[in-house]
Amino acid sequence: MASWSVSRLGKILVVRGGGVGDVLLTMPVLHAIKNACDGLTFVAPGPLARLAKEAGLADTWHALDGRKWVELFTLGGRNTLEPILSEMDFVISYLSDPDGVFAANCRGLSEARMIQGPYRPEGAHMGDRLMEPLKKLGLEPSAARLRFPTPELLDGIWVAAHPGSGSERKNWSEDHWRELLESMMTETDWKILLVGGEAELGRIGRLAEGFSADRVRCEEIKPLWELGGLFQSCSVFVGVDSGIRHLAEAVGLPGVVIWGPSNINEWGPRRDDWRVLTGLVETRADRVLAVLKEAVSESNAGTIYHRHHHGRVSLS
C-alpha cells in the first residue's frame, strides 16, 4: 500500500456525499488530517460542509450540490474548478464513482494524488471504514469529539430529544413519544430540548402542545452547528437512529437510542455512555424513561456506564 510522509501532505481536499450521519462520521477523518496539512478543504452536500468549518476542522468548505461541483460528474465537463483543484496535493473522495468520471475530471484539472475512500460500511462500522485512507497518508485515526461555539448555557438538567429521522421505518411512534414526554414531566424535574428538522415539521408542535414553555423548549430547522452547541449544555440525548443522533454522540453527549432496522454494527453508537434499546414496536415509554433516569444520574455524577454485549440494553 502506497503511503506518503506527513511532511509532504500539503493541501488536501476531502469530498463526502450522503446525509447528516454520513458527514458527521467523516469528521474524525478531518480531525486527523487538519494538523498534518497546510490547508484542508471540505466538500459535502448543502450546508453540511459548513459543519467542518464551524468545528474548526476545515479551512474552507464548498457545497457539493453547487453548480460548479456538479460539473465534475459529467465527463468532459467545464473546468471552472481548476483554480481550486490545481492547488491541491491530495484529493480524498468518498463518493460512489463506478465509472471513474469524478476522478478523471479531477485528474484533468489537478496533479493531486487521488485517494478513493469507501462510501459503504460493507459489514464494518462506517466510522472505521472512513478512516482507511488515513493509512495511505501515514496518519493515525482520531477519536476527538466535535466542539462548536456554545450559543448559550442551559441551566439545570436538560434532555435533548429528537423524535424522528429522515426515514419513517426508523421512527418510534408519535404516541410513544407523547407518553414518554408526559412521564418525564410528571416524574422528573428535567427540562426538554425538543429538536426537529424538515422531517419532523408539525410533529414537534404536536408533541409540545400543552407543556409549559419553562419545561419544554422547541428548536426546529436550526443550523446543525448551533444545535451541536446547545447539545453541549445538555445531560443526555434520546432519539432513534438518525443524523441528529450522530451529532449528539459526536459532541460527547451520552444517549439513549431506540433502534430500528439499520445494522447496528455498521451505524450504531461507539461510545461507552450510550444505551441501545432494540425494537421500535416492542420498546415501551416506561422502559425508555427508566433507562433515561439511569443515564441522567450517571451523566450528572460524571461516571461512565460500562456495558456488556457491545453496549446494548436489550428488552427481556
Q: Are residues 123 and 171 in the same domain?
A: no
Would you state the cell numbers that stand for residue 132, as one nine-digit string?
Answer: 482507511
The answer to the question of residue 143 being in a domain is: no
Q: Distance (Å, rounded) from C-alpha 120 to C-alpha 180?
A: 34
The answer to the question of residue 265 being in a domain is: yes
Task: Report residue 134's pLDDT band, with 50, 70 and 90 as the boundaries.
Answer: very high
Task: Output the average pLDDT for the chain.
Answer: 90
- pTM of the predicted structure, to 2 decimals: 0.90
Helix pair angle (243-250, 224-231), 10° resolution: 50
- pLDDT for the residue numbered 316: 24
User: Considering all CA atoms of the chain, what is the largest pairwise distance in Å, rounded to the nearest integer?
Assistant: 64
Enclosing domain of residue 123: 6-137
Q: What is the CATH number of the domain that holds 50?
A: 3.40.50.2000
Which of 137, 170, 193 is at the close of a domain? 137
Report pLDDT digits (tens) over 48-100: 999 999 999 999 999 999 888 988 888 776 668 889 999 999 999 999 999 99
At 35, phi and psi to the nearest 5? Answer: -85, 0
Overall number of domains in the chain? 2
Q: Are residues 183 and 129 in the same domain?
A: no
